[in-house]
A and B are shown apart, each in its own frame.
Chain A
Amino acid sequence: MEIPLPGGNSAGDIIVVEGVSKVYNTGHVKVNALKDVNLSVRSGEFVAIMGPSGSGKSTLMNILGCLDRPTSGSYRLDGREVSSLSPDDLAIVRNKKIGFVFQTFNLLPRLTALENVELPLIYAGVGPGERRERALAALESVGLKDRARHRPNQLSGGQAQRVAIARALVNNPAIILADEPTGNLDSKSGQEIMGIIMEMNVRGITVVMVTHDDDIAGYAGRIIYLKDGDIVGSEMKNEGRKAATSTIL
């Protein structure tokens, strides 16, 4: 059961999900991965999504990230209905508005850190000179300027994830979507990553993050609990996040 938010559709909401369902058809078995989910996220908010394995967290993240489309329901991103956009338009939205951080980093192994960070800018049509500059700046912001020429297999897990964050940030997205960003890291690297994510959030980027770790979830201003494709609970943290407090009461 989701707690209805009175101001949910106000202009400050960057993510507005209404009645979204996702059904996977695998042969004869139908999986209802999401069931009539309603969710609003205010611009600048930091939301953590928790829930048991198979509860639909990644499914929801994929829809929020425009990698997938809901079976039914509406998803407005930054005021624009995106649930029925064409694959190419979704690609443009992903490129301009969204930065992904994955559990397994998902860097291209053959490219250097710098080239990996440049990729979103290539698809955005940014010229080589500006691309290099911005990618270096992004690497610097995650403290890895000196690793620009390294390939992913020459980086530690924490460093690789920082490169991935630099890549997510380089095109100035409105939202960072992180699906278990610390899942493959030891706790020290995990905290470093969370430090960087917090910093991005402080700078105004909306963050939605999936995690299994209560400590990691503690960084968020709001925690949403998913179970069997349903939002079953939501918890606001009073200390810290200003955006979060303004949303609840």
Chain B
Amino acid sequence: MGFMEYLRLAISSLYQNRLRSLLTLLGIVIGVASVITMVSIGEGARVEVVGELEGLGSTMIFIQPNYLDQDVMMGKPVAMSLEDVDLMKRSSPSLSYVSPQITARGIVKLGNREKRTTIVSTNDEIAWMQGLGMADGRFLSESDIRSRRTVLVLGWQLANELFEGESPVGRRVRVNDVACDVIGVMKRRGQRAFSGGMDSEDMYAYVPVTLARRAIGTERVQVVLAQARDVDSVRTAREEIEGFLRRRFGRDHKFRVESAESILESAKVIIGVLTAILGGIGSISLIVGGIGVMNIMLVTVTERTREIGIRKAIGARNSHILRQFVMEAVVLCLVGGVLGTLLGALGAHLVAALSPVPATVSPLAIVVAFASSSLVGLIFGVYPAYKAANLDPIQALRYE
């Protein structure tokens, strides 16, 4: 008895019990649809986050001179000075740009109008690294830094809120009581992802890093942003930086050096876990659907006990009966898989249309859905089919 024979038999049996087959199918459809939708949401989130992180540039390196995790809370944090940053740059030939960041909340005042916001003390190189564009005037220059000029660059929104439409460039404002001349306004950057709880970059005020002590009251460098010459030298650059920090602050000192790749990697891991959890939630409904299939198959086998007896009497082997019933369950689940995939794709499109997550139906999700629905058919179909196959022919023939 060939495959097509079993398939025909299964389809005609399922067709005989249309309503029942349809209802059982529904369980699988919903299960597969939820797996597809959930995995698509995870996939969409991955695409979004990876795109965002790749936008940072894969040659970027992020340095935290003090990495205070729980283990070293006891240890004394070291102070990385601006001189240290210069030394680091000189000892790391693989770096093209190095930019120290000393950031604090502070007040920017124009006349008696004042704004509390984030003051970033940095150097000119940040503009090169991040490709910051200007709406008006210019960014901090190397000579601003060297000469410790009391100058200031405003974020787009901060400029608007302080000056309310007037031109800020050339005007004088006070940054934490240090009088500074506005030399430029940044281009609008818009809300970036993952800036929750913090000021938007459009609200930042940038002052020369050499002004940090006066304007912010500290010269301790919290973060250094650096850029390797090219993608291939990122690894060497990181090694140079790590070497420098160990020489400078001691073997046991804890710091953190991350490149875009390493951040990307951990983000991918996190999102992978997230996707797995979402898929797992979807799978639960698929399993519930599978239990429905098993339940119906058990009923079917009981109802068709006499048929099984007759088939055996005229020469059906156990394996014939087994395959006949497994095929029914698998066909049920595969049809459910097709319909569920369509429904799931619809769900993913709805999520993409109605939420910021660009949920996309990946081929992988479809493969997974199909594999899992036929697996469900097999797993939950085998037991009832096994029961059917092992019925005693005489008992089965006598069954009323």
Contact = CB atoms under 8 A, between A and B. Distances in A.
- Interface extent on A, as a size class? 20 to 34
B16 interface: yes
Q: Which size bracket describes the interface of B in this complex? A: 20 to 34
Given A67-B313, A67-B393, A106-B397, A123 B318 contact: no
A100 B1 contact: no
B197 interface: no
A67 B320 CA distance: 16
B319 interface: yes
Nearest to B310: A106
Contacts of B309: 106
A62 interface: yes
A174 interface: no
Please report whether the interface of chain B is mostly helix, strand, loop or mixed according to DSSP.
helix
A129 interface: no
A161 B76 CA distance: 99
Nearest to B313: A100
Contacts of B5: 122
A85 interface: no
B317 interface: yes
Contacts of B254: none
Contact of A122 (B1, B12, B394): B1
A91 B315 contact: yes
Interface string A93-124: 01110001010001110100000000110111
Interface string B317-357: 11110000000000000000000000000000000000000
Interface in A178-201: none
Given A62-B394, A106-B310, A88 B1 contact: no
Nearest to A122: B1
A125 B312 CA distance: 15
A67 B12 contact: no
A166 to B, nearest CB: 12
25 contacts: A65-B313, A67-B313, A68-B393, A87-B317, A88-B317, A91-B312, A91-B315, A91-B317, A92-B315, A94-B312, A94-B313, A94-B314, A94-B315, A95-B315, A100-B314, A102-B397, A106-B397, A108-B307, A108-B310, A119-B314, A122-B1, A123-B1, A123-B315, A123-B316, A167-B314
Interface of B: 1, 5, 12-13, 16, 306-307, 309-320, 393-394, 397
